[in-house]
Structure 1
């Protein structure tokens, strides 16, 4: 089992000792996390590491998954898009009925009664708060940019949100202006010991890239993300085509489906159709647990993109930066907190801007190396899981 001591080569000793002191004051409490998928997406990945790490400190912590039908997840995906921005759909009575019925079904299966602190992640399991008991603390962890939501979507959330004791957002800009419960700011994190981020040998990297038909001897432009329109894979391809006019390069769009995102397959098929006649463009739909493969592609990539139109946080940026890669990212959401313009990467607003910065990095190896060194140190100090765990424990301590 991984323990805090395993992270001592990445963080200062004082931080490890502080976590032990925090945990000592919280022993005896029980914590529950609830989200909507065990695999696929950043939330599941964080919980898969954060839960056992909290247990290793002697604080009993469990993780339950909220289940639903395809109809339910189609509605919550629409709700997700509406929370990001207005005019992305509407909510009708049938949507509400499906949400309430699914919440009721999960109330029968998920035991929340025996916990002192319950973390609910994102809108899917939000309604479980009706089970909240006296002396419990319930925290809603929102992984979405709700700074400019569709008012209908936020009105729907308000049926439940105000029953929570606190809510957590990634960055201050994400906090909805009219929220009535205390908001806290806790950015997400990556785990340097996770198979996606740990050191791997060069032979495995080369074998992995070759297995998918990618030529390691030529520049590789990479974007790792779910197949989601808000990640703008079509815009990435268009930028790559502009770059290819000058550089003999390849594009890899690497992603997977999340079980709570029914649009993934549809977007993936659109991408496949777009690149079907381009022998240097690859759309790789890998299983959600293909962590070592993702690691290999990020380490082999010449230039890494994350050209999101809207973004919650976009931890793939920190993943690539941890491997010493500068990242060209969409000027939105949490990407702005990870990329320091001109030092750890570049922020872009257009397809043309993406192509320009990609050409700049392709042409200057020393710039890529220097920015990559800054990028890794930026992540080490701000976006590793040890800091994330400390933030959670301090929040719990303040609430209790």
Structure 2
């Protein structure tokens, strides 16, 4: 277990955020923070997850922890450490929670016992840092096993879940058979999407709090035109030489539309399906599949395998099709630099896609919407809550329908659909619903609810 200290939030940035949301919302968030401070009574609000880099939860915590501190709330962040065996178990547990019925994702009793033993050891170290008035907010399946050994050490535990499945499967039921009993001592559970609350937790007190983005983060802040050009070159999507971490047959033709998906190299993000759908279409758009260096995400041991799947599929394509598909593996040694690269790709893309097979929420969708990009997303998980089909984006009803996916994308790149209007409405929806003042108000309400249950 490690304690992470994100970069502090500057007072001028907080002031800019208050200007962005307006005086009424600014007053509400300050009052909510004051209620949290009163509830903690000298204690600390702890977030706990399994990685400090890579993935939506880590990105969100790099925002939320400094924001809460700037608002006067004692807030800290701890990360669970583990070896490949631990993260192999948690990957299988997460895949199952997303509905996977792949035999390779099944967990035997020994694997579950190892997962619990490791978290029990982690909890022993972490307990030394905790006070009786502290509140824990552990995130996702990697932390569920911390609840039993730590619940009695603090004033409350609210476990947050960002994964889930739209319809229960044998795999998801197996995952919840492991996790639900671990949450008996939790004061509450928090889901990103209401319909992801499983039947196994139907009698538990739960809340729905969507993830949020920070407008001033390197991934979301405005970029000057010359900066975008330089960053695109570094992604292999400009006129310059293709860097070694990009798989491409040469510079992108700037005269054709750019379609991009930014996500992990993960079965459920279906980068391979995106590749095959665009490759099989009549579109002349250039596709950029943008993900992290597969070796740089310690809590996801499948990245290299799924990147290799995309690499082999691309190699098998005819040369004219292959030339309009780039695989971009962004370096992860400098997180701000990585975020600027993603920012430039999303801002430049004529269409941003997120063709997930399952999704907890989909922060990349929120990010693209904030940049006023037209988004094509699968109608799964939180994506279906974010996108109102035809108003602020387009939804693919069946994420396995490659032809239907290609048709939606081609409608935007061919101007059959007004992408500018979709993007404009998308930006305003994010400003209204998915900025971080909403998280502060929701946590204040969550802690206040404890007094009424």
TM-score by length of 1: 0.95
SS at match of 1:10: helix
Asked if 1 retains the 8 angstrom alpha-carbon contact of 2:193 and 2:360, the reply is no
- Are 1:323 and 2:371 matched, yes or no? yes
- Are 1:109 and 2:125 matched, yes or no? yes
Q: Which residue of 2 aligns with 1:204?
A: 227
Q: Which residue of 2 aligns with 1:92?
A: 108
- Are 1:395 and 2:446 matched, yes or no? yes
How far apart are 1:306 and its partner, in Å?
0.3
CA–CA distance in 2 between the matches of 1:47 and 1:365?
39
Structure 1: runs of 5 or more not aligned:
none
Q: Which residue of 2 aligns with 1:261?
A: 300
Asked if 2 retains the 8 angstrom alpha-carbon contact of 1:2 and 1:53, the reply is no
How far apart are 1:146 and its partner, in Å?
4.6
Asked if 1 retains the 8 angstrom alpha-carbon contact of 2:165 and 2:381, the reply is no
Cα gap change, 1:301/1:365 in structure 2, threshold over 3 Å: closer, same or farther? farther
Asked if 2 retains the 8 angstrom alpha-carbon contact of 1:113 and 1:133, the reply is no
Asked if 1 retains the 8 angstrom alpha-carbon contact of 2:286 and 2:324, the reply is yes
Q: What does 1:263-342 align with in structure 2 at a 5 Å threshold?
A: 263-276=302-315, 278-288=322-332, 289=335, 290-342=338-390
CA RMSD, 1 decimal: 1.7
Structure 2: runs of 5 or more not aligned:
1-8, 238-251
SS at match of 1:85: coil
Q: Which residue of 1 aligns with 2:415?
A: 364
Runs of 4+ off more than 6 Å? none
How far apart are 1:18 and its partner, in Å?
1.1
Q: Which residue of 2 aligns with 1:378?
A: 429
CA deviation map 1:6-52 (0-9, x unaligned): 21232131111112112223323311111000000000000111011
- Are 1:351 and 2:407 matched, yes or no? no
Cα gap change, 1:331/1:26 in structure 2, threshold over 3 Å: closer, same or farther? closer
Give the number of aligned pairs. Answer: 398
Q: Which residue of 2 aligns with 1:219?
A: 257
- Are 1:50 and 2:89 matched, yes or no? no
SS at match of 1:133: helix
CA–CA distance in 1 between the matches of 2:415 and 2:164?
34
Cα gap change, 1:365/1:217 in structure 2, threshold over 3 Å: closer, same or farther? farther
Asked if 1 retains the 8 angstrom alpha-carbon contact of 2:384 and 2:395, the reply is yes
Asked if 2 retains the 8 angstrom alpha-carbon contact of 1:117 and 1:396, the reply is no
**Which of these residues, 79, 89, 101, is aligned with residue 65 of structure 1?**
79
CA–CA distance in 1 between the matches of 2:343 and 2:130?
39
SS at match of 2:20: coil
**Which of these residues, 128, 136, 140, is aligned with residue 122 of structure 1?**
140
Q: Which residue of 1 aligns with 2:196?
A: 174
